[in-house]
Amino acid sequence: MIPEEEVEEKIRRIAARISEDYQGKVVHLVSVLKGSVFFTCELAKRITVPVTMDFMSVSSYGDQTESSGVVRIVKDLDVPLEGKDVLVVEDIIDTGRTLHYLMNILRDRGPASLRLAALLDKPDRRVVTVEADYTCFQVPDEFVVGYGLDCAQQYRNLPYIGVIESESK
Ligand code: IMP
Ligand code: MG
């Protein structure tokens, strides 16, 4: 769906905007495992203001295809967010349930600022309002993989964004 060069070019542009927006500050990247690790690394490498990073892992209660919006923290952050300029880095905003819940949890921890960067956005699927401050691509309502995104834990390592073609469709 999106070739590697296009993804990297877009990340470069987003990183430039972030570098400008956070002039004189330290960006504290909060990467949501595991899907956003590739995006986080590529983004972090291209940000020119000081960067610190932390990781968390959440699991959303629900069935295979639909998240419930109730999020369990599987691995929490190592460092408190209080006073930090936090930029949450996510792979994709789908229904928005996971991020809506997660952003509220993080906001309660008292960061100086809290923003969201998403590699992909599927606006057609949105159930709960979530606005990313930085989005690389909007994608149609199709199941995408690669660049960190998985299907049953596979395909995360694809260097581009691909679509799973289902035979039943
Ligand atoms: P939400 O709570 O529905 O927004 O769920 C978002 C999460 O669902 C993402 O962080 C992904 O882990 C997963 N997800 C949603 N759509 C896709 C997709 O097309 N491919 C891979 N994972 C997806
Ligand atoms: Mg995810």
Q: What is the mean pLDDT of the chain?
A: 94
Residues 6+ apart with CB under 8 A from 76: 56
Chain centroid to Cα 133, Å, comes to: 11
Provide the b/e sequence for 65-87 (b: ≥16 CB within 10 Å): eebebebeeeeebeeebeebbbb
Pocket of ligand 1 (CB under 6 A): 35, 60, 67, 90-99, 143-145, 149
- pLDDT of res. 138: 98
* pTM > 0.85: yes
- pLDDT of res. 71: 84
Question: 3-state class of 23 per DSSP?
Answer: coil
- For ligand 1, the distance from its centroid to the CA atom of residue 41, given in whole angstroms, is 19
* Each residue's pLDDT tens digit, 75-133: 999 999 999 999 999 999 999 999 999 999 999 999 999 999 999 999 999 999 999 99
Q: Say if residue 64's pLDDT is above 80.
A: no
Which residue's C-alpha comes closest to atom 19 of ligand 1?
143
* Alpha carbons 153 and 162: distance in angstroms, whole number: 14
Ligand 1 atom with the smallest distance to the CA of 36 is 10
- pLDDT of res. 63: 63
Query: Contact 74/58 with Cβ under 8 angstroms?
Result: yes
Which residue's C-alpha comes closest to atom 15 of ligand 1?
94
- Percent of the chain at pLDDT > 70 equals 94
Q: Say if residue 8's pLDDT is above 60.
A: yes
Query: Contact 92/119 with Cβ under 8 angstroms?
Result: yes
Instruction: Give the active site residues.
Output: 94
Q: Say if residue 144's pLDDT is above 60.
A: yes
Element (H, E) at 69: strand 67-75
Residues 6+ apart with CB under 8 A from 165: none
* Alpha carbons 72 and 147: distance in angstroms, whole number: 24
Which residue's C-alpha comes closest to atom 5 of ligand 1?
94
- pLDDT of res. 70: 79
pLDDT category at 54 given cuts 50, 70, 90 is very high
Task: From 116, 112, 37, select the one nearest 75 (Cα to Cα).
Answer: 37
- For ligand 1, the distance from its centroid to the CA atom of residue 67, given in whole angstroms, is 8
DSSP 131: -
Backbone angles phi, psi at 156, to 5 degrees: -60, -30
- pLDDT of res. 59: 86
- pLDDT of res. 165: 84
- pLDDT of res. 137: 98
| CA dihedral sign of residues 97, 152, 160, 16 | positive
- For ligand 2, the distance from its centroid to the CA atom of residue 112, given in whole angstroms, is 25
- pLDDT of res. 69: 73
- Percent of the chain at pLDDT > 90 equals 88
Average pLDDT of the segment spanning 3-13: 98
- pLDDT of res. 166: 75
